[in-house]
A and B are shown apart, each in its own frame.
Chain A
Amino acid sequence: KNQVEQSPQSLIILEGKNCTLQCNYTVSPFSNLRWYKQDTGRGPVSLTIMTFSENTKSNGRYTATLDADTKQSSLHITASQLSDSASYICVPTEGGQNFVFGPGTRLSVLP
């Protein structure tokens, strides 16, 4: 069965600090992987997407990495801001439209 594990489950950091969130998945066949950000009370919104041939992609202060061989991905947030407080969900895609959502990491950025 396709599975996604994320760590840590939750994280608290101070504003301005960096952090890295981890994702391990067993989706097969693997098509691509997205990281979603979900603010409290809102639906998830895509941050980055990587196909199996890409190993890093940046979107502003967010940098995602992907190792399709070890089935691992990470999301690095640089110079965190209060508005980064949210859940970050790793979503590998199996085939065409089968999005497999991870449990998410809850990030809290404190002033």
Chain B
Amino acid sequence: DTGVSQDPRHKITKRGQNVTFRCDPISEHNRLYWYRQTLGQGPEFLTYFQNEAQLEKSRLLSDRFSAERPKGSFSTLEIQRTEQGDSAMYLCASNRKPEAFFGQGTRLTVV
């Protein structure tokens, strides 16, 4: 148990629906990351936060993806109008330098 909690663990949704994932970081960690990972690939950077400030969002990410971290605590990742290509594992990590701890991930399947 790394201490980073993600919910839900699995999500099946129909194409075109919106989905929202939640990440609860380790309490004293002020940096939080979101990644997407598909089979045989490394984690693909989506965005990261320092406390409540979103520092950067991947240029590869379409406007259908948005993330928030209100009050610098938990974070949510929303995908609007899901597409089959969004099917992947979505990983959250929180950081106390130098080590980032990963959650178990949310597996999204778009049918």
Asked if chains A and B come from one complex, the reply is no
